[in-house]
């Protein structure tokens, strides 16, 4: 029989067993410590602050500045710069153009890169290695150089594809490069310039899939198409979502392609085809840096909103 004193002592004190660890208070356990992973992230964080967050905050300040005297007077314009930029007669048309471009470029880029990656992975060997190299080469000729090459490629008189262009009844470059064709032309430029890098990323992700999983699917009767669509594609979904975010954000900021094609005189194209071009015009043609900053901030908001929506509707960060 246990005495009352022993019961009181047991209830009022914590009994330690040699094999039981007592948890530390939450404040002690949640104390932040420098980890090796933080050192890997540090360079990116510094660059992000210097060339991402910093310029963004500066643009926010400039968007409220008055430039009528040539010297920025901070916080003296109120919302005037936003009203001037967003009510400009060119503003709506630039976003309509980019929306058409996004409607074509995003699905074509995503489906094309995924399909090529799955096809190459289905037939590994020297042929796949050769094709990955071929797809990757155009990425070395990106930006302005790719645009200049495209102008020659679309000219029915000097293009290596002139037989195909003439078969489509195109005899002049102005018939090929028209405002209605620009979304498709920019999609082709972007795909051939950037597809190789994404194919390399997707192919590496596919190589990381456990061979046991693929063998089990084969034993269960999975053919090549079902293997690609039902087994491989879901396993590389985080990379697909990552590509979707970057492609969307990058295509919204289209600038070099319409700017160079318009400046070359190859076709009568507006100098304000995209929102970035309009922001450039506000800054360097009208000396309205506040209006240019207002447009740039809107581009940031669109990119961040798209990324947040994609992340919130997917499970890219799901822990397996």
pLDDT digits (tens, 9 = 90+) for 95-114: 999 999 999 999 999 999 99
Predicted pLDDT of residue 30: 57
The C-alpha atoms of residue 289 and residue 301 are separated, in whole angstroms, by: 18
The predicted model gives 248-253 an average pLDDT of 91
Q: Which residues lie closer than 8 Å to 279 by C-beta, 6 or more apart?
A: 291, 292, 295, 296, 299
pLDDT band at 1 (very low <50, low <70, confident <90, very high): very low
- Here the contacts of 278-285 (C-beta below 8 Å, separation 24 or greater) are 278/85, 278/88, 278/90, 278/91, 278/94, 280/255, 282/85
The C-alpha atoms of residue 93 and residue 73 are separated, in whole angstroms, by: 31
Tell me which residue has tokens 């043609």: 285
The domain ranges of the chain are: 100-137+183-312
Predicted pLDDT of residue 252: 92
pLDDT band at 248 (very low <50, low <70, confident <90, very high): very high
Which range among 23-27, 29-33, 190-194 shows the weakest confidence by mean pLDDT? Answer: 23-27
The predicted model gives 225-250 an average pLDDT of 91
**Top-ranked range on mean pLDDT: pick from 70-74, 217-221, 316-320:** 217-221
Domain 100-137+183-312 classification at class level: mainly alpha
pTM over 0.85: no
pLDDT band at 25 (very low <50, low <70, confident <90, very high): low
């Amino acid at each position: 029989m246990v005495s009352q004193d022993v019961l009181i002592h047991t209830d009022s004190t914590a009994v330690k067993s040699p094999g039981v660890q007592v948890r530390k208070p939450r404040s002690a356990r949640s104390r932040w410590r420098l980890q090796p992973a933080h050192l890997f992230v540090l360079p990116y964080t510094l660059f992000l602050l210097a060339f991402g967050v910093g310029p963004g905050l500066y643009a926010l300040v400039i968007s409220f500045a008055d430039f009528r005297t040539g010297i920025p007077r901070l916080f003296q314009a109120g919302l005037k710069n936003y009203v001037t930029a967003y009510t400009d007669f060119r503003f709506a048309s630039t976003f309509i153009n980019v929306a058409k471009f996004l409607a074509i470029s995003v699905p074509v880029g995503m489906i094309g890169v995924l399909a090529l990656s799955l096809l190459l992975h289905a037939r590994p060997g020297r042929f796949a290695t050769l094709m990955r190299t071929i797809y990757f080469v155009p990425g070395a000729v990106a930006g302005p150089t790719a645009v200049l090459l495209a102008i020659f490629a679309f000219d029915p008189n000097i293009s290596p594809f002139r037989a195909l262009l003439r078969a489509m009844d195109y005899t002049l470059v102005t018939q090929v490069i028209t405002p209605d064709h620009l979304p498709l032309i920019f999609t082709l430029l972007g795909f051939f310039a950037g597809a190789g890098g994404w194919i390399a990323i997707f192919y590496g992700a596919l190589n990381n899939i456990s061979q046991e999983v693929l063998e089990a699917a084969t034993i269960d009767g999975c053919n090549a198409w079902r293997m690609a669509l039902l087994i491989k594609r879901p396993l590389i979904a985080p990379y697909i979502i990552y590509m979707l975010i970057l492609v969307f954000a990058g295509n919204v900021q289209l600038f070099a392609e319409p700017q160079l094609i318009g400046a070359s005189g190859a076709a009568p194209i507006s100098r304000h085809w995209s929102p970035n071009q309009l922001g450039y015009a506000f800054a360097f043609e009208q000396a309205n840096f506040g209006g240019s900053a207002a447009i740039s901030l809107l581009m940031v908001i669109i990119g961040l909103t798209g990324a947040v929506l994609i992340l919130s509707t997917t499970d890219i960060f799901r822990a397996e």
